[in-house]
Structure 1
């Protein structure tokens, strides 16, 4: 079966119950945080003296680690003429680490408290944890954000492990984060099901030889086999 849409809740529950381990992405999967990340990126760019990037560009960053995302931002700004090569290589505010710290400060200070959970996903997390399935979070976001949001949503205790982007050498779309999540649950790839909203995350799940369910705005869309 390939790229199969769900037609009933029964089909979804039956599919999920086959797996010992469930691995959840966070941003865009458990919660509607992507618009807040877009706003934080725009906020950061404005503070640095740049115009916002188009929404479709910001949306393409979903699931990407900070390094590749900020490199692409700088490339686009330089190609557009807004950023000179001289400033790019001389301004300490434009290093990857500086941009990462700037984005975290803006996002956590202004936008993260406004993030809303997808209630359907919270219900699923609680039900699966109560059923005895082992759950892991696999997010490119920092641990501080994972801890805050899971606690804020009241589901942190449902997760046996939390894997963040800084714990692996290669972020999504590479498989590392999902492989480490499975390892943290003492399970193999075929024992785990991934919940993801973004193309980079779904590609990472496939590279990890894990089945995946694509989630859109808290709804379960399509099953992707490994």
Structure 2
């Protein structure tokens, strides 16, 4: 049962799959790097399952610890992100309804932040490319945390930067690990069904409900 009867003081947005619908492009970029540059033979669904956390963590999950040194992982990460940006740039756009939703939140005095496992190189690509920086009071990236989602550090740092209690934050996420991170941070969550189906989020008690974009009229209850 969906229940949007919650009045948050802050919105915390994951970025990829939550503000923009780009996870397919990330997966395809990683698939190319892993198969063409590193000689693997991984199908799309196998790569998709690893699409969470920092880039270095993705590489270590797939290839094992010790396969690459830090310099090599940095190089592979940038190769992947450049390929992602090149392919996604012609499609760069906010999810339907998000532009109006951000403006409405700002009018109602709700603070907003990005809390993402993306690196600044990618966050800046989106935030500046779509000209939404003025809506954001804080940005927490992969470079700002020691522990990735589902650890709560990313969301807790965002709440701290906004000077808002975790209980007063509402997270927007598209991935189970992100929802788990919000749960660990003591935060309620709304799920964007851009990357995963609602059935993949069973068992998370902090989910208020599911939306496909920000035109959903249920969101009006948040203001």
* CA distance in structure 2 between the aligned counterparts of 1:217 and 1:134, rounded to whole angstroms: 24
1:81 corresponding residue in structure 2? none
Partner of 1:160 in structure 2?
Answer: 137
Query: Please, which moves more after superposition, 55-64 or 203-212?
Result: 55-64
The correspondence of residues 1-226 of structure 1 with structure 2, limited to 5 A, is: 4-5=1-2, 12=4, 14-15=5-6, 18-75=7-64, 88=67, 95-217=72-194, 224-225=205-206
Q: Secondary structure at the match of 2:21?
A: coil
Partners of 2:62 and 2:92 in 1: CA distance: 24
Structure whose residues are more often helix by fraction: 1
Once the two structures are TM-superposed, the CA of residue 56 in structure 1 deviates from its matched residue by 2.4
Separation in structure 2 between the aligned mates of residue 115 and residue 57 of structure 1, nearest angstrom: 25
Partner of 2:219 in structure 1? none
Shift of residue 31, structure 1, vs aligned partner: 0.7
- Cα separation, 2, equivalents of 1:184 and 1:93: 29
Structure 1 length-normalised TM: 0.78
Please report how far the alpha carbon of residue 145 of structure 1 lies from its aligned counterpart in structure 2 after TM superposition: 1.5
How many pairs were matched up? 201
Aligned-residue CA RMSD (Å): 2.7
Question: Which structure: larger Rg?
Answer: 1
Partner of 1:9: none
CA distance in 1, matches of 2:126, 2:42: 26
Instruction: Report the CA distance shift for 1:35/1:51 in structure 2 as closer, same or farther (over 3 A).
Output: same
Gaps of 5+ in 1: 7-11, 79-84
SS in 2 for 1:5: coil
Further displaced range: 117-126 or 160-169:
117-126
SS of residue matched to 2:82: helix
* Aligned position for 2:221: none
Q: Alpha-carbon deviation of 1:113?
A: 4.6
The C-alpha deviation readout for 1:141-199, integer Å capped at 9, x for no partner, is 11122122122223221111111011010011100000000001011111111110101
Q: Specify every segment of 5 or more residues in structure 2 that has no aligned partner in the other structure, as ranges.
A: 208-223
Aligned-partner SS, 2:97:
helix
Change (3 A) 1:100 1:49: closer
